[in-house]
Amino acid sequence: MALQDFTMDYFSLAGKNAIVTGGNTGLGLAFATALAQAGANILVPSIVPEQAGDCDLIEDAGVAYQHMAVDITEPEAPASVIKHCVDHYGSVDILVNCAGISLLKKVKKFTRAEWDKMLSVNLTAAFELSHHAAKVMIPQRSGKIINICSLFSFLGGQGSPAYAATKHGLAGFTKAYCDELARYNIQVNGIAPGYYATELTRATRDDPDSNQRVLDHIPAGRWGEAEDLMGAMVFLASRASDYVNGHILTVDGGYLVR
């Protein structure tokens, strides 16, 4: 490519087909909205029922949109999600593994059942979906797999043994899949959000002491907002990132440097 050939079209996702797990709530909705506004058709597999108005911004983008009520931890579910996308849209160009849960308990109280549940949602489902997506992307010789990691892909953290383990595992999985799939022009990367103002963090933000402890650790001096992640998602899903592979992009206001 000559330098003069580069245009903002490199960030366009027009005609692309994207799967965003958990894409009708929280940060997943921001990711799905960003992809839609860049032109991608969206399929959202989620165990969370779709609520009226949740996905208006996706539909307002003028792209195709479907919600698929499915538990991605069920044995046949990942393959059915990929097949549904191919059957209805014709391809799978972008897979965003966003669905995740966090159960916080001290080490002595954390049970095997809770460990297994977190692994099944946060790590095993991402593997299964990526495994079946790769079967579609390899013959296409193109594709983007984007795993939603965490600062806990780099850190420990009291009360989060399984969460930290799954997010470390997801980062390692990202690199391993990159190493094998890059030769097929498939980019596998991760996004690691920092501390964001979502419903999951409301209790921390509402407590003055806890809120200040978090803010004191963020050079930007504020909690992240969902829109802070949207540009990173479009970049990693688009042609603009075709030589970015196996990277975990932190979007954390500088948290990790302090």
Mean pLDDT of 107-127: 94
How is 176-228 classified by DSSP, letter by letter?
HHHHHHGGGTEEEEEEEE-SB-SGGGHHHHHSHHHHHHHHTT-TT-S-B-GGG
**Cα distances (angstroms) measured from residue 52 to each of 56, 64, 234:** 8, 17, 25
Residue 218 has pLDDT above 90, yes or no: yes
For the chain, the average pLDDT equals: 94
pLDDT tens-digit series, residues 65-75: 999 999 999 99
Mean pLDDT of 226-236: 97
Residue type, 151: L
Mean pLDDT of 230-242: 97
Question: Phi and psi at residue 249, in whole multiples of 5°?
Answer: -90, 110
pLDDT tens-digit series, residues 130-164: 999 999 999 999 999 999 999 999 998 777 889 99
According to DSSP, residue 133 is labeled H
Residues forming a β-bridge with 193: 251
How many residues belong to the chain? 258
- Where does the pLDDT of residue 103 fall: very low under 50, low under 70, confident under 90, or very high at 90 and above? confident
d(CA 29, CA 32): 5
pLDDT at 245: 98
pLDDT at 248: 98
pLDDT at 38: 97
Residue type, 253: G
pLDDT tens-digit series, residues 21-43: 999 989 999 999 999 999 999 99
- Where does the pLDDT of residue 170 fall: very low under 50, low under 70, confident under 90, or very high at 90 and above? very high
d(CA 145, CA 175): 11
d(CA 179, CA 188): 9
Mean pLDDT of 65-87: 97
Q: What would the two tokens of residue 157 be?
A: 């953290």
Residue 88 has pLDDT above 70, yes or no: yes
Mean pLDDT of 189-206: 93
Residue 48 has pLDDT above 90, yes or no: no
Enumerate domains of the chain plus CATH numbers.
Answer: 14-257 (3.40.50.720)
d(CA 246, CA 248): 7
pLDDT at 177: 98
Residues that are catalytic: 163
Residue predicted with more confidence, 104 or 138: 138
Residue predicted with more confidence, 155 or 55: 155
pLDDT at 118: 93
d(CA 215, CA 222): 6
pLDDT at 1: 61
Q: Is the dihedral of CA 166, 171, 231, 62 positive or negative?
A: negative
Residue 168 has pLDDT above 90, yes or no: yes
